[in-house]
Amino acid sequence: MMKLLLGLSRAIDALNEQIGKLTYWLILAAVLISTGNAIVRYTFNMSSNAWLEIQWYLFSFVFLFCAGYTLLHNQHVRIDVISSNLSGRGRAWIDILGTIFFLLPMAITIMWLSWPIFVDAYTTKEISANAGGLLIWPGRLMLPVGFFLLVLQGFSELIKRVAFLRGLIPDPAEKDEGPTAEELLAAELRKERGEAA
């Protein structure tokens, strides 16, 4: 059973990884749209609310859809005053309890409550009140979908922590970030000293 769950966890991780990589391009798109809009506005004294709203949509997409990606890479803000002094098993228990009692209930509640708001915007074909504004429902859809991705990643992290506690996988909270900038600099200095000698 645990092998099946770990397979599901890998599939969820792959999904959020791909979505996270897609958002890199959306950030670039938002920057280019913002730049183009500013140039047109100041050069030709023309503007459109649609261009501003596209930027808001792209920012919302990045923020909401990357929540699962951020959790996958263990980059959410944490207060490690207690957990930094614990063993890997102790941190895994904190993650399990935090996921079960805080993350999943919060994310499921937001996802559940935001769905009817999206459905209402979609069925009424709600449009922005701004002149030349966009349809509202794509923006409303981002909220339940983004929190759904976070819920999925929460389940994936839960599976990995339980597997770690059972000794089936290494600690998923350990980050292999490679050498720090200081370590790279020290290695380069040692290399230069070796070549000079």
Res 164: pLDDT = 94
Res 111: pLDDT = 96
Say if residues 141 and 118 touch (Cβ distance below 8 Å): yes
For residue 189, the number of C-alpha atoms closer than 13 Å in the C-beta half-sphere is 6
Pairwise CA distance, residues 167 & 33, whole Å: 49
Res 197: pLDDT = 55
Q: How many domains does the chain have?
A: 1
Res 52: pLDDT = 84
Which domain does 92 fall in, by range? Answer: 2-171
Pairwise CA distance, residues 181 & 183, whole Å: 5
Within a domain: 84: yes
Per-residue model confidence as pLDDT tens for the chain (197 residues): 888 999 999 999 999 999 999 888 898 998 999 898 888 888 888 877 888 888 889 999 999 999 999 999 888 777 667 777 778 888 889 899 999 999 999 999 999 999 999 999 999 998 888 877 788 899 999 999 999 999 999 999 999 999 999 989 988 877 655 666 677 777 888 888 876 65
Within a domain: 179: no
For the whole prediction, is pTM greater than 0.85? no
Within a domain: 43: yes
Within a domain: 103: yes
Res 117: pLDDT = 95
From residue 146, alpha-carbon distances to 79, 90, 95 in Å are: 24, 29, 21
Say if residues 133 and 123 touch (Cβ distance below 8 Å): no
Within a domain: 186: no
Residue ranges of alpha helices (H) inside 45-136 are 49-72, 88-98, 104-123
Res 178: pLDDT = 61
Res 137: pLDDT = 92
